[in-house]
Amino acid sequence: MDSVRDVDVQRVSMGSKSYDNDSVATESPLSVNLKLRDEMFSVGVLMRTPGDDVELVIGFLFGEGIITGIGQVIKLEIEEDCCHIELSEDSQFDPSEHVRKTSISSSCGLCGRDSISNLFHIEGKQINTSQNYSLETIIQSVITLRSSQNIFSLTGGSHAAGLCDSGGNLRLIAEDVGRHNAVDKLVGKCLNEGIEHPEDGFLVVSGRASFELVLKSIRFGFPLMVAVGAPSSLAIDMAKEHDMTLVGFVKDNKISVYSSPRRISVS
């Protein structure tokens, strides 16, 4: 598969060396170009794992606030490692805000931004405030996500994002070398399948909870984000600002809740 590559590797241990083959997650560039009112703009180069590229771009445009729905994408074509997009007049694209000054690496979803201060007060989907989630549901969602990570099983080098229903059942999953790319791919898959709002569903991610992941989660309206690892201070501040429940450090029978704990039940 294009998302995985075989490479030569030397195994070294105390007193011995051997040669072998290894599978690694592919990372390659995808340039994103927008056309609006007959003018072309480059919004950056995404360093991603090939696969679900259409969904990645749609999710990226949504997460950036460039579009508010898939209907604003008139045309999207990918040729080799270049994506050409035509947007409708009612899109939210603002060259001064959305054109990046640098490439977007697989480890940074906000690279090239002059400022992130205006991102705290974003407009997104209405977050559901009524649903409760049990401790068992949250723990099981992480176990289910891990068992469904095909690229990670082969390489040990990819992240995953999953949409779970209120019972913790996995509905959709996306994988990529970049944490934020995985979330963009997931949101793009949701929009492509007509899922415009998570309703009672929630997001589960395989790594830590960074600011850009929380930002993308809030834009789509996830009431709960579950991360295997730690959150950052800015991620917690963002979750509190928008009343999203943020959970981290999911291990065995224990979790840490960093914002809006009222949605979590232990019974």
Quick one: pLDDT band at residue 98, thresholds 50, 70, 90? confident
Q: Please give the average per-residue pLDDT across 220-232, as a whole number.
A: 97
- Residue 119: the pLDDT is 53
In 3D space, the residue among 39, 48, 28, 22 whose CA is nearest the CA of residue 158 turns out to be: 48
Quickly list H helices, 26-176: 53-63, 95-98, 135-147, 150-155
In 3D space, the residue among 190, 193, 222 whose CA is nearest the CA of residue 209 turns out to be: 222
Distance CA 146, CA 33 (A): 34
| Bridge partner residues of 44 (DSSP) | 32
pLDDT in tens, 108-154: 555 554 445 555 556 667 898 789 999 999 999 999 999 999 999 99
Q: What 3-state class would DSSP assign to 117? A: helix
- Residue 99: the pLDDT is 83
- Residue 106: the pLDDT is 53
Q: Which two tokens stand for residue 195?
A: 């899922």
Question: Would you please indicate which residues are annotated as catalytic (active-site) residues?
Answer: 108
Domains of the chain: residue spans and CATH:
28-117 (3.10.20.10), 133-265 (3.40.140.10)
pTM: 0.91
pLDDT in tens, 47-80: 999 999 999 999 999 999 999 999 999 999 999 8
Contact in structure between 176 and 155 (CB atoms under 8 Å): no
Q: Please give the average per-residue pLDDT across 184-208, as a whole number.
A: 96
Quick one: pLDDT band at residue 244, thresholds 50, 70, 90? very high
Between 100 and 242, residue with greater pLDDT: 242
- Residue 71: the pLDDT is 95
Distance CA 215, CA 235 (A): 8
In 3D space, the residue among 48, 91, 89, 44 whose CA is nearest the CA of residue 67 turns out to be: 91
- Is the pLDDT score of 100 beyond 70? no
